[in-house]
Chain A
Amino acid sequence: MQPKSNSSALLLSIPVVISFAAAMVLSVVAIPESVSNFRPDFVALVLIFWCLYYPGRVGLLVAFAVGLLADAMYFGILGQHAISKLVIAYVILKFISDSNLNNRVLQQSMIVLLLLLLNVLILTVISRLVHGPYGSHMVWLTPLVGAIMWYLFASFRRTRTPRRYGIFQ
């Protein structure tokens, strides 16, 4: 592996920054209340994407920093999203190898569902510890919405870039 120069590393990180920024905006922008109950954790989805497809580019530091920024963005408990995003990144980087998953959209979506459920579990446990019994049970449906979004996105991505992701192999 060749060491990357500073400027190219910076260039590579631009899509990362933009995607996380967009995810954070999407997660607070005003939408009708009936829909907002089902809004998935876009920051978690983007994090899963980078960790799964480009594990070298996004590591634990980025996951932690993004989570902390998200906490500030949502005016929530500082550290709450930081630790949930950290755990997601760790689980993917440590236990999930992406090479055998690229071609199986459904299987990938299942893993995304589990990761998003883990995310909600951590967030819920922390708010319960801090605030006591809290919030609606609706939040447990958001991972499902996220996984469906992932399924659509991954299918679309596969049809767009068939060669690279080995549909003909």
Chain B
Amino acid sequence: MNDLRSKSNLDFKFIWFSMIAIVLIVLESQSAMLHSARVVISIPVKPLLEVAQVPAHVKVIYRNMFEERELLRDLNRKLDEENKALREELIDLKNAEDRNEWMGELLHASDKHKIPVIAAVPTSIQLEPQAQKIVVDRGSRDQVVLGQPVIDHRGVIGQVTAVSMKNSAVTLITDSTQSLSVRVRRSGIKAVVHGLGDSDKLRVSGLRSEHDVVIGDILVTTGFGEKYPVGYPVAEVISVERDKNTSFANVAAVPLAAHDPGYAVMLVWPNRDLGSDEVPIVTLNDAAQK
């Protein structure tokens, strides 16, 4: 009797909990409503994420054992961030050239130098291998928001897809859920880049066989949809196959940015106006001066 009651209680509980889980999944897939719930749920998990990074830290410490490690590492990090910021300015300069050529784009690319950024270091956390995702050491307390673009000195890395208090997950452009609108820097033709779930390959769609695209062309962001800043390098074309029958060109590309654990990446707030909004952390110019 008692056993019977506990069994039916089990069914009852099972149904209730599954309904909660299904509601969560539906909400999660339809909206950003659970964003703050995630921040709360991930609080107890934070120490575990720290523990999981210990082996990687130990490895680094072991490697630096015979050097004056504190000193060198700090210097190295400082120089690295400086270098990155400077290179990003270089990208901006290159873009200025581009903008001269493409007067039409000029209207959308206003005050590019005032885009606020923050440096973040990728952690050694390894999420499911089939997902092209990294975890960085900035979260909601650093005002990281969902959908925020992430770049490095070479180009676009991806966008923030989940945020907790002190960390956030960045889904790389190579993930199969990602696609972004680009144009060929040299000829200005627009196309779309799709991730394939493969860390060094991207598919480029929307190009016809008569379009001017060759191996080695650099694809840059268009800023369409205002998710990514305008004119950042995304990928380099590695193969172009022109199919006579379909009139479409099969184009493949490699991502230009590569995340290396320990090297800083930049989180960007492309839509935030420096003057009006809460607290932008640093601008590209500030970062260069540091």
Contact = CB atoms under 8 A, between A and B. Distances in A.
Given A30-B55, A60-B10, A139-B130, A79 B45 contact: no
27 contacts: A28-B49, A30-B125, A31-B126, A37-B129, A60-B10, A69-B41, A75-B161, A75-B162, A76-B131, A79-B20, A79-B22, A79-B24, A82-B17, A82-B20, A82-B21, A82-B24, A83-B22, A86-B18, A87-B18, A90-B10, A90-B14, A94-B10, A126-B25, A130-B28, A132-B176, A134-B197, A138-B129
Interface of B: 7, 10-11, 13-14, 17-18, 20-25, 27-29, 34, 37-38, 41-42, 44-45, 48-49, 51-53, 55-56, 124-131, 133, 135, 161-162, 164, 167-169, 176-177, 197, 261
Contacts of B162: 75-76
Contacts of A133: 176
Contacts of B55: 29-30
The 8 closest A-B pairs by CB, nearest first: A135-B130, A79-B24, A75-B169, A83-B21, A75-B162, A72-B42, A79-B25, A30-B124
A24 B45 contact: yes
Q: Is the interface of A mostly helix, strand, loop or mixed?
A: helix
B21 A86 contact: yes
Contacts of B17: 60-61, 64, 82, 86
Contacts of B27: 78
Interface magnitude class on chain A: 35 or more
Interface in A87-114: 87, 90, 93-94
B51 A25 contact: yes
Given A28-B52, A61-B17, 5 more contacts: A30-B126, A72-B164, A75-B164, A79-B24, A90-B10
A89 to B, nearest CB: 8
Contacts of A45: none
Given A28-B126, A37-B129, A75-B135, A61 B13 contact: yes
A77 B25 contact: yes
Contacts of B51: 25
A39 B177 CA distance: 23
B128 A73 contact: no
A125 to B, nearest CB: 11
Contacts, number: 140
A130 B31 CA distance: 11
A80 interface: yes
A73 B126 contact: no
Contacts of B126: 28-31, 36
A131 interface: yes
A83 B14 CA distance: 10
Interface of A: 21, 24-25, 28-31, 33, 36-37, 39, 59-61, 64, 67-69, 71-80, 82-83, 86-87, 90, 93-94, 126, 129-136, 138-139
A75 B127 CA distance: 8
A68 B148 CA distance: 24
Nearest to B44: A69
Contacts of B20: 64, 79, 82
A67 B22 CA distance: 13
Nearest to A63: B17
Contacts of A24: 45, 48, 52
Given A28-B49, A131-B177, A135-B197, A60 B21 contact: no
A59 B6 CA distance: 11
Contact of A60 (B14, B41, B49, B56): B14
Contact of B49 (A73, A90, A131, A138): A73
B39 to A, nearest CB: 9
Among B29, B129, B176, the most chain A Cβ lie within 10 Å of the Cβ of B129
Contacts of B34: 78
Among B7, B23, B42, B56, the most chain A Cβ lie within 10 Å of the Cβ of B42
Nearest to B130: A135
Given A75-B161, A78-B37, A136-B130, A86 B24 contact: no
Contacts of B48: 21, 24-25, 28, 73
